[in-house]
Structure formats: C-alpha cells, structure tokens
Amino acid sequence: MDIQRVIGGDIIMAFDECPPYPSEYDYVKKSMHLTHRWLDRCITQINNSEDLYGYSQNLFPIVQGGAFSGLRRESCTYIAGRDAAGNAIGGLSVGEPEELMYEMCGLCCSNLPQHKPRYLMGVGTPWNILECIALGIDLFDCVLPTRNGRNAMLFTSQGVINIDNKKWELDFSPIDAGISCETSNFYSKAYLRHLIKSKELLGLTIASVHNLAFYLHLVTEARKHIEAGDFVSWKNEQVPLLKQRL
C-alpha cells in the first residue's frame, strides 16, 4: 500500500490472489476469503496514511470467486460493503471460455454498486472490451495491445492483421486509415512488415503505438454511441468486424 502511495497511484489496488482456471471449488473459496482478509488489512493501512500529492488516491477492492456464481456473488457483497470509491473484478481472462468470462462479468456488474466505477482487470481484445462495456464495465487494463503488437498482431478498424504474412509484403496502404493516428496513417503495412521481419525495434514500436491508438479510438467511439443511445446496435455491428482475420 505504501509503495502505491509513493509512486502516485490515482487508483490503488487492494491485494488479492487470482486462482488459475480451472481450479477446484474449495481452493477458490479459500482463496477468495484470503483476498477478503487482505482487503481489510489494506483498508486499515490506507486509512492510516494520507494522500501524498494533493489529489485523491483511491483504494479499489478486487472481486474474486473464479467461475463459481455463488462465490462471485458472495465476494461482490463483501466488496460492496466496504464502500470503496470504485470496485475491480479480477480472476477473469485467465484461460476460461469467452462466454464464461462474459457470464461472470455480467453477474458481478449486477451485484456491484452501479453508481461507482467498475474496473475489469486484464481484459482484453477489442471485442471483449465492447461486450463488457455492454455488461456495465467502465475501466479496463490489458497487455494485449503492446504484447500482441510486438508479436506482429495488429488490431484494426477492419479486423485483425498478422503483419508477418507475406500478403502484406507489397501492400503500401496505411496500417489503418480508419483511425486518426499519425503513426497508423503514415506508415504502410509493407514497411511495417519489413521492419518486423528484419527484427528492427522500430517495428515493435510502430505496432504497439498503432494498437494503443486503435484501442483509444474504439473506446472513444463507444462513448459517442453510449451518449447517442445506440451503443448496443453499434456494438453488435462492430464485434464481428473486429474479429475478422484479414
């Protein structure tokens, strides 16, 4: 807790244990109760210290419970009872099927306060993000944009590109003209492929910058459609498009 204070975190995460998938019920239950005990200790420590830099540093508890609906509800009840500024959902996107992830995410969103931010940890692909926004998630974090970019996978407005493929060798069109990112509009698919194949570090940088820009574009568009009142229909059109392998 003190380290998170010192580094200036706006959101400070409570300690938790994240069980792997699949895990036995008894282990997940024991792990969840451990997470709850850690949370109470984290709250005590945070309450006995002060914000360091003139702005609020907020502790977010983390819901656990694996893929077990009863445990998830119990954890949500425990977390909500601590009246934190926001709440996180952990232990998903750890190998379970997507539909199960959505089921657990929706269950947690239904059992956490609607007037406080809900943060889904470690998720995910562009289509995961849109589906989980529809379920009630407000905040995300994930390594996918940069990790997959460094491994030649690009997320674009037209679908997923493996820039390693030979089909892009002579494609001099922009990486993605569908988003307003200077990097994505300036560099061509052929040039990026050349850099990646040549193991030039610039290629990894361009791919990472593009993917991050695309994620920012996606959630910006999502906000516009939420405000316009047509998010669900837009999301249903986007998800199959985003999943396409080009």
11-55 pLDDT per residue, tens: 999 999 999 999 999 999 999 999 999 999 999 999 999 999 999
Return all residues near 111 (Cβ < 8 A) that are at least 6 apart. 72, 73, 76, 77, 80
State whether 6 and 128 are in the same domain: yes
Report the pLDDT value the prediction gives residue 88, as an integer from 0 to 100. Answer: 98
pLDDT digits (tens, 9 = 90+) for 216-226: 999 999 999 99
Number of domains in the chain: 2
Q: What are phi and psi of 13, to 5 degrees?
A: -90, 135
What average pLDDT does this structure show over 63-85?
A: 98
Report the pLDDT value the prediction gives residue 209, as an integer from 0 to 100. Answer: 98
Report the pLDDT value the prediction gives residue 69, as an integer from 0 to 100. Answer: 98
State whether 128 and 178 are in the same domain: no
Kindly report the CATH number assigned to the domain that includes residue 39. Answer: 3.20.20.105
pLDDT digits (tens, 9 = 90+) for 40-49: 999 999 999 9
Q: Are strands 11-13 and 62-63 parallel, antiparallel or unpaired?
A: unpaired
Domain boundary among 142, 160, 193: 142
State whether 127 and 14 are in the same domain: yes
CB 105 within 8 A of CB 135: yes
pLDDT digits (tens, 9 = 90+) for 164-220: 999 999 999 999 999 999 999 999 999 999 999 999 999 999 999 999 999 999 999
CB 75 within 8 A of CB 36: yes
DSSP character at residue 166: G
Report the pLDDT value the prediction gives residue 164, as an integer from 0 to 100. Answer: 97
pLDDT digits (tens, 9 = 90+) for 205-214: 999 999 999 9
State whether 159 and 80 are in the same domain: no
State whether 28 and 135 are in the same domain: yes
Domain boundary among 142, 173, 196: 142
Q: Which domain holds residue 160?
A: 145-243
State whether 116 and 170 are in the same domain: no
Handedness of CA 210, 211, 215, 221 (dihedral sign): positive
Report the pLDDT value the prediction gives residue 120, as an integer from 0 to 100. Answer: 98
What average pLDDT does this structure show over 71-89?
A: 98
Domain boundary among 107, 142, 177: 142
State whether 91 and 22 are in the same domain: yes
State whether 117 and 137 are in the same domain: yes
Q: Output the pTM of the full model.
A: 0.95
State whether 122 and 178 are in the same domain: no
